Structure 1
Amino acid sequence: MPQIDEVDLDITNVAHGGVFVARHEGRVVFVPDTMPGERIRARITDRTHDSFWRAEAIEVLDAAPERQDHVWSSASIDRAPAQRAGGAEFGHIRIEHQRELKRRVIADALQRMAKLDIDVVVEPVEDETVDGTGWRTRVRLQVGRDGGFGPYAARSHTIVPVTELPLATGQVGETTPFGQTFAGAESIDVIATGSGAGHVLVNEAPVKRGKRFVRPRQRPVPIRETVGDREFRLDARGFWQVHRQAAATLTEAVQSAVDEALFDPRAANLDLYGGVGLLAAALGDRFGSTLRITSVESDEAATDNAAENLADWLGASAVTERVERFVTRTASESSAAERARLRAATVVLDPPRSGAGRAVVDAIASLAPAQIVYVACDPVALARDVALFAERGYPLRTLRAFDLFPNTHHVEAVATLAP
């Protein structure tokens, strides 16, 4: 029997990762560029897994009422799949329904992995645009062999030339050097600071030295960002929240997530994966000048900046070390008095998309802190770690979610865990 490449599918659910769920002859099929309630024509692209296939949507046969014209024409289903720009995978869905789908993903992950039935709401951020555009303050664009640049197509390394970036702020759009070429570069970063300054950073491709490829060292580009009345120093290539309102939103969310009855400013409080000190400063601004807190980050440049950004608090320090190593060492080497201060501590952590993982969860739990505030950008990693913390005596107490990545599948969450 000949292999069938194109099939008509009924989309029934949303899955983590910006794809949607259908079934064909009893097998799960994951498809992007659609949504629940639609019937589509799809082309099967991956049959390598026994339990599921992957496909690409090529035509909408019966559209859901929540479908809209894509906010980015370069990512529209009208284009061939290999020429659809990645990075706006929910842009064909009305913004309110995007948040409902993100809510379902969070709730499903918590139910499956942590056995929790949580009714969470995905909150819009202050000053959001009607269609969820104009929020990105940082964009990375890939450079091809001809020096031209653009985003990758979804799930590929095909560069899609574009002439607009609708998810980006106006300043990023004006700064992006459309029409120019960057021969020999690997990518460019376009960054707009809160003060309105625009930067184009050229990231050179690795060069071969002996048997190895070595990435050229990049000269630091110092910039400053402002959150409320507080200014933060950082390197333009370093981590900073992408949404123009994200830093302020997470500052308020973390301040609110801390249970004041459990908080001791003089305890050995910790800010893990601390970056340039944004969330440590959030606690300092809420709880005052007596705050004692250690911000831990593996990136030395970020730690140097954090030391300056946290200089208002004499009890604040910044340590350059991998979080797992720091917490494990702290648990094993602390004096009795320091362990008592750790037991009174609040631990804030903002891990990468992969989450903290069992080793870090076990190390934090071994300190027996008073409470944990977990900032997460991946609902599945969050659900896994929530389950791990619960096993160690730290069940989920509160959870909020924020739509800090409109028109994409990503969502931010802030959880409080306490005995």
Structure 2
Amino acid sequence: MSVETVLGDVAHGGVVVARIDGKVTFVTGGLPGERVLVDVRERGTRFDRGVVTEVLDPHPQRVVPPCPVAGVCGGCDWQHADADLQRELKRRVVEEQLRRLAGIDWEGEVVEVLPRWNWRTRMRYRVANGRPGLRAKRSHDLVPLPDEGCRIAVTQDPGERPGAGELQVVDAHSGHVEIVDGRVAGEPVVTERAGGRDYRVAAEGFWQVHPHAADVLVDAVLRSLEPRAGERAVDLYCGVGLFAGALDGRGCDVLGVELNKEAVAYARRNVPGARFQAASVDRFLGRLPKRADLVVLDPPRKGAGRAVVGAVAAMGPRAISYVACDPAALARDLAFFVAAGYEVTRVEAYDLFPQTYHIECVATLTRNSPLH
């Protein structure tokens, strides 16, 4: 049975908040201020989850999603909001997380990065009855691709795949590669380009999925650190050497640390002038240099954590650039840095994942500098 309610503000995770029968309910498919009917589908001890079944009083920036499975497939969260509202919703989330978890007042903007459609260069599908599909929102159920394919993917419709169980599609700078049930059909190594430099990466390896993301983030990190030739730099969670390459290009002495051994092997080829260690960052802390001038942190979604932050601060870098794909984890780690004697001088936010709730931020930390 659906319940009528007026939706509150946006919350992290592609939802808006409602209070139904006195209980906080995270609602998908709605926009702030809308009067809607909500079907409560998941009940918990602290909060419930619901889905909008009908919009009675729409937000002025609500639009008709171009994808027929928007709201069902788990790939997109905000197709029903226009581009300006999507960025505003993401801005509010970053602002709220920084204020609540780190005590930082942030009034920045979310920078638009085009294209907003057909941007996802890496897709992973499950295949049923020969037809690729994507998982439903908060479910393992499979949603078959519509006839027009996935609107956010570079390769919108990969076609029928009889007998396959899983399909990965990679649209790299060097070309198109497919991986069917773990077997690469095409080149197993692709080339990506960022900051005027080529990077080799395994077809199944990690690289930013928006075609302009790597360039955007390299530019942001270089602005953040303002590296000078001869400075000692540490790149933690370095992957195949994206930021290490940018710092090496500015004449820095770079050490990169990355858990994935295959990624480290590529990093050594991509940036032969830098040094790389294949190790868990958490377990490498005791082997970090005593001093460093610059540090780049690009941790996984869960963030770096208190121990890593403490070890980074102990090296006494003059500047730290923290690249984050989760604003909550970013805010928690920034609070640790502040406690360790660093100040957040800038936070930049980029809409590198249009139509979804995801957002990328780059924070700059220095000692004894005011926030602006």
Partner in structure 1 of residue 11 of structure 2:
15
User: Contact between 2:75 and 2:137, CA under 8 Å: does it hold in 1?
Assistant: yes
Map 1:6-405 to 2 at 5 A.
6-49=2-45, 51-76=46-71, 84-125=72-113, 128-129=114-115, 132-144=116-128, 146-162=129-145, 163=147, 164-169=149-154, 172-173=155-156, 176-183=157-164, 185=165, 187-195=166-174, 197-204=175-182, 221-258=188-225, 260=226, 263=227, 265-285=229-249, 287-288=250-251, 291-311=252-272, 313=273, 316-330=274-288, 339=290, 342=291, 344-405=292-353
**Other structure's SS at 1:239 match:** coil
Q: Is the 8 A contact 2:195 2:219 kept in 1?
A: no
User: CA offset at residue 390 of structure 1?
Assistant: 0.6
Quote the Cα distance in structure 1 between the aligned partners of 2:340 and 2:120. 38
SS at match of 2:312: helix
The residue type equivalent to 1:47 in the other structure is: R
**Equivalent residue number for residue 335 of structure 1:** none
Maintained 8 Å contact 1:14/1:35:
yes
Matched residue SS, 1:192: strand
Question: Is the contact made by 1:149 and 1:159 (CA closer than 8 Å) also made in structure 2?
Answer: no
State the one-letter code of the partner of 2:56. Answer: L
Distance (Å, rounded) in 1 between the aligned partners of 2:90 and 2:221: 21
> What is the one-letter code of the residue matched to 2:357?
H
- Tell me how far 1:326 sits from its aligned partner: 1.4
**Which has the larger strand fraction?**
2
Alpha-carbon contact 1:362-1:392 (below 8 Å) kept: yes
CA distance in 2, matches of 1:106, 1:68: 23
How far off is 1:198 after superposition? 1.2
Q: 1:374: Cα distance to partner?
A: 0.1
Change (3 A) 1:182 1:317: farther
Q: Secondary structure at the match of 1:75?
A: coil
- Structure 2 CA distance, aligned partners of 1:389 and 1:203? 43
8 Å Cα contact 2:199/2:270 also seen in 1: yes
Aligned to 1:416: 364
Given that 2:195 and 2:246 are in contact with CA atoms closer than 8 Å, whether structure 1 keeps it comes out as no
- CA–CA distance in structure 1, aligned partners of residues 118 and 303 of structure 2: 28
- Contact 1:324/1:363 (<8 A) preserved: no
Cα distance, 1:228–1:237 mapped onto 2, change above 3 Å: same
| SS of corresponding position for 1:151 | strand
**Any conservation in 2 of the 1:300–1:320 contact (CA below 8 Å)?**
yes
Bigger drift between 402-411 and 361-370 goes to 361-370
Equivalent residue number for residue 210 of structure 1: none
How far does the alpha carbon of each residue in 1:163-210 deviate from its partner, in whole angstroms, 9 at most, with x for none? 3111112xx22xx43222344x3x211111124x21111235xxxxxx
Aligned length: 365
Matching residue's letter, 1:180? R
Structure having the higher helix fraction is 1
Worse overlay, 362-371 or 91-100? 362-371
Supply the distance in 2 between the matched residues of 1:119 and 1:416 (Cα, whole angstroms): 15
Give the superposition deviation at 1:73. Answer: 1.8
How many Å separate the matches in 1 of 2:79 and 2:351? 13
Q: Using the alignment, how far apart are the partners of 1:372 and 1:224 within structure 2?
A: 28
Q: For the aligned residues, what is the CA RMSD?
A: 1.9
**TM-score scaled to structure 2, two decimals?**
0.93
| Displacement after TM superposition at 1:148 (Å) | 3.5
Q: TM-score, normalised by structure 1?
A: 0.83
Query: Are the aligned partners of 2:169 and 2:178 in contact in 1 as well (CA < 8 Å)?
Result: yes
Query: Is the contact made by 1:264 and 1:345 (CA closer than 8 Å) also made in structure 2?
Result: no
Separation in structure 2 between the aligned mates of residue 57 and residue 280 of structure 1, nearest angstrom: 45
Identity of aligned residues (%): 41
